[in-house]
Amino acid sequence: MKSIRVYDPSLCCNTGVCGPEVDQSLVDFAAASRWAQEQGIDLERMNLAQQPMAFADNPVVRAFLEEHGEQGLPLILVDGEIAVSGRYPDRAELAELAGAPAPAESVGTAAAAEGCCGPAEKSSGCC
């Protein structure tokens, strides 16, 4: 299976549940990322605010940022090559990028069933 590295813009957390406005695409991608990792997909996320050296140390990411700036993020690399930029892929696309079987359920169904951060946090309303 291929390795997927996600370079997120500056975020306080990777769930998208930060501040007064929730970014639904981040909530959906957090669920899709968790699903991918549960399937054994080698997926790792880097946050520009929390891991700036991961961006600076990768020549592909550094060149991308020099040309497009932070507004071009997120950036998804598959085996070190740019596969997606400027948006987050859904579960089906993550599976395709990794060379894994397609998911049986949709992102929205799983996210609604689990809550934004997983089953334990759903009941507390806290992410």
pLDDT per position as a tens digit, 18-58: 677 788 889 899 999 999 999 999 999 999 999 999 999 99
Report the pLDDT averaged over residues 5-28. Answer: 83
For the stretch 63-78, pLDDT in tens is 999 999 999 999 999 9
Q: How far apart (Å, rounded) are the C-alpha atoms in residues 77 and 62?
A: 12
- Percent residues over pLDDT 70 in the chain: 78
The number of CA neighbours under 13 Å toward the Cβ of 103 is 25
Q: What is the pLDDT of residue 59?
A: 98
Q: How far apart (Å, rounded) are the C-alpha atoms in residues 78 and 97?
A: 7
Task: Using alpha carbons only, give the angle 87, 91, 97 rounded to the nearest 5 degrees.
Answer: 75
Residues 38 and 98 sit within 8 Å (Cβ to Cβ): no
Is a pLDDT exceeding 90 seen at residue 118? no
Is a pLDDT exceeding 90 seen at residue 127? no
